[in-house]
Amino acid sequence: MNEEESSEFRNKGDQISTMEILRDRKMMFNLLGTGGCWMIYDIVYYGTSLFSPTIVGKIFGSGDNLVKQCWQNIVVQSAGIPALVCGIYVQQRFGTRNLQIAGFLAIAAAFFVLGLLFDPLKDSPGPLFFFYIVLMFMLNWGPNITTFILPAEVYPPKVRSTMNGISAALGKVGAIIGTFIYQPIYDEHGIPVLMVVAGCISLIGAALSFWTIKPSKEHTGEDDTREYNTVSVEDNTDEVGHLRRVVNDQ
């Protein structure tokens, strides 16, 4: 799915309207991979992040003072730093698609483990806190990186900015959904069911990534740069030819 465009777009000029893009089936299929997966990821990421103080409070109980609760949440959120470093390394070695699929699967596994062990380990806050840190690591390790990269890899230059914006907008829709669905599920069923539901949503993200994102033949940043530079040269050549025709007509 790397920078492929339908014959309809190849035959058009530089001016392509948003409605023309949205009517193209290939673009819509690609949007399932970039925007749909971004939306699914933001549902679980923002829902879990905003609900994190409640989850940590359930793990340790309500007896801890405010300062201790703040430090607990700082430790949880700090898991994202090594996760991002590790994710960048994996993306460069194995490619964006593989990292996104593996990331969604790892997130789902972490949600399921935490959900299934929450009640049995409710009197052991240490292990539960460890599993929750692992969950936050996984949330930052895969799709948190790949959802930003995929639109640049997938779409041709003519529509890349537009489709990147639409994909990001779908991600924000997912963030809104995540902030609204966590509390009702928690109030009705508790933390274990909430974690299992989030795990199922993550599995949908893995399946959608596998189905809609085609494997990339090249994974290195150097190769990507060379490919984009080639595209830029072709575009510039077309522009120069157009300017020459204008000058000759005059």
Burial of 202 (0-12, 13-18, 19+ CB in 10 A): buried
Residue 87 near residue 145, CB atoms below 8 Å: yes
The pTM of this model reads 0.78
The predicted pLDDT at position 37 comes to: 97
**Distance between terminal CA atoms of the chain?**
42
- Comparing C-alpha atoms, which of 223, 194, 77, 60 is closest to residue 127? 60
The predicted pLDDT at position 41 comes to: 97
Please report where in the chains the tokens 């292990």 appear, as a residue: 127
Q: What percent of the chain is helix, strand and coil (3-state, nearest 5)?
A: 80, 0, 20
Residue 238 near residue 157, CB atoms below 8 Å: no
3-state secondary structure of 16: coil
Residue 36 near residue 208, CB atoms below 8 Å: yes
Residue 22 near residue 28, CB atoms below 8 Å: yes
The predicted pLDDT at position 245 comes to: 53
- Comparing C-alpha atoms, which of 39, 20, 38 is closest to residue 28? 20
Taken as a whole, the chain contains a residue count of 250
CATH class of 7-218: mainly alpha
The predicted pLDDT at position 217 comes to: 57
DSSP letter string, 134-168: HHHHHHHHSHHHHHHHHHHHHS-TTTHHHHHHHHH
Cα–Cα dist 140/46, whole Å? 11
Annotated domain spans of the chain: 7-218, 220-250
pLDDT in tens, the chain (250 residues): 555 555 555 555 455 677 777 788 888 999 999 999 999 999 999 999 888 888 888 888 765 677 887 888 888 888 889 999 999 999 999 999 999 999 999 999 999 999 999 999 988 888 999 999 999 999 999 999 999 999 999 998 888 888 999 999 999 999 999 999 999 999 999 999 999 999 999 999 999 999 999 887 543 334 333 443 433 333 444 443 443 454 355 4
The predicted pLDDT at position 248 comes to: 52
3-state secondary structure of 1: coil
Residue type, position 175, single letter:
A
3-state secondary structure of 2: coil
The predicted pLDDT at position 223 comes to: 39
The predicted pLDDT at position 123 comes to: 85
